[in-house]
Structure 1
């Protein structure tokens, strides 16, 4: 039976929110749970009703671009808690936040470090920054430094920082962030590579950043991050698009109309239960296959044209004029409803590419619950001889994803 939230106080809703976040495995650190419980989130979201403000799994959009796309939002509480777990703020730490949002996260950071003046939050949009500043002042945390500026540049005036957190999604880690993070400091950022996104927690170790935690997530993109990710329509009506990184050899003109070519479908025999995800397959392939991209499919596209796994953003492989992407079908095994993963391909090498991707699914399946990777980020000039694997090259850095058990 659902709770009647219309009769509950903000305090009751907040307690219920924290309980659900904790039950989901977030706010594992006691101090993170404490600040979530003590902070009136609704006062940073005056235009949202209480139920939405304290919904544990929903983000709240607060500003939009003229085209309707989200410019700024308050992240869902579970993700706020998870990223604060990753950041591990200790009393006395100097903290930089990229993306002021509503000011809520800066308020939490100020309580974790113990002094509001040790927290600096930067936002490129003056309206967003002004609103965050007012909310912080109104809740007793006016000592937080709210700066209107380009987050790509960080904020050198208060560096070095013991902790840095980005609440907008960068395609790369800008050089100023490296320069402003103290040795041994931690940085948490929702990074993007090969079309997928993870909140990654790093420790600065010498001249590199080494991860110890990756959490699946999606965020508003960092404004001013450059054209690291490219995109192009592959259907004449523009309803199916492909997105790829700048360092990838993708020619969208060779793929325009590829979905009109004959379809090849191959099934993997790998099935998933109701609570199982295939997202780690995408992550794993980014370590070994430079052809991994992202397919965007609107709800207006009929399955006979394009029939990917559910969701707007889906993994695909591109090889010249050939496209392959994940699909699924419902099956019943021992009276249990499951979904079988398969691959649909179009183009001259569709048979080969679909079979290749099914082979990757079969190789991934036995290990999908046991292994997590390490993402190591090197400066852009690092030679190949210093890298533990194949580099994904960005503007300011080189990403290397490695597994204890090398992907087969």
Structure 2
């Protein structure tokens, strides 16, 4: 994809404004920073000007960052209010970051605002995916639409060429022919995913089975390929999938958004099964159990699932005792949501009310009642491939 300079500049301006609003300084590790040098079993730290760091508060801040000893090319922000506090390279050469706690809060808030935008985009995405999967032959749009459909149906990660090459761990765009068996209208996926976890899923879908079988008839080992305008074969990559999603959604949507949205809705459905807890301890036990169920579906650890894939409003509402459920979603929740499922429309309504309530409550001293969430439908609807 070509570099979008305008979008990049806009993103930097937005980040600067967000940092300023959080009382932080927007920084870059291209500017001079504090360096780290190994000395015996420990480290010494050098000022950008070259002198040793002796200030006790600065040394305490550096220790609190808990920068792994294995990191190389370590850069530490000389300003305690920098939005980035440190960067470095891990043992695999990947760039890693340590952020200021307030910046993490800003970033997380933006991420969950984005989830609401994604939910609003889902009807248009699903309509376009359905149309593209009906195209004749095996053009790129048809194969990309099939991958997006599978992102939702199975919750398999989109995949990364580096992980496939270095770790032999796979996602949808890096699957090989051997990872999928098609038997009639049923697909069976068996492969090693991220962190070495084995995925075994079954999916009954006549149309997808037909498309995947056509992909398997193409030469080569990569499962998802298509014919370009010249008749040549091209592999589908995660970048292709994300570009396709941005095009059909008309906004910045990525493959990961499907897993984050699914994790949030599945958490609401899991919590639906519990009676209202009679104590905070019981509520937290139920919360842990629900998160474990969602984590098992997503193939994550519970800690990662809670931090990265479930909107905190769902968990907060349950702990507050304000998460209520009805057999069916209220009719008004379906208005304007098109192809959103009833339980998705209910969760979206909760997030919108929660967002409005939090913004209205900013600066208010009195407690604001939390909205109830009316959620319906069966657990397996999202990511209905069986693990």
Fold-level similarity (TM above 0.5): no
Q: TM-score, normalised by structure 1?
A: 0.29
Q: Which has the higher contact order (CA 8 A, sep 6+)?
A: 2
Question: Which structure dedicates a bigger proportion of its chain to helix?
Answer: 2
Q: State the TM-score, normalized to the length of structure 2.
A: 0.30
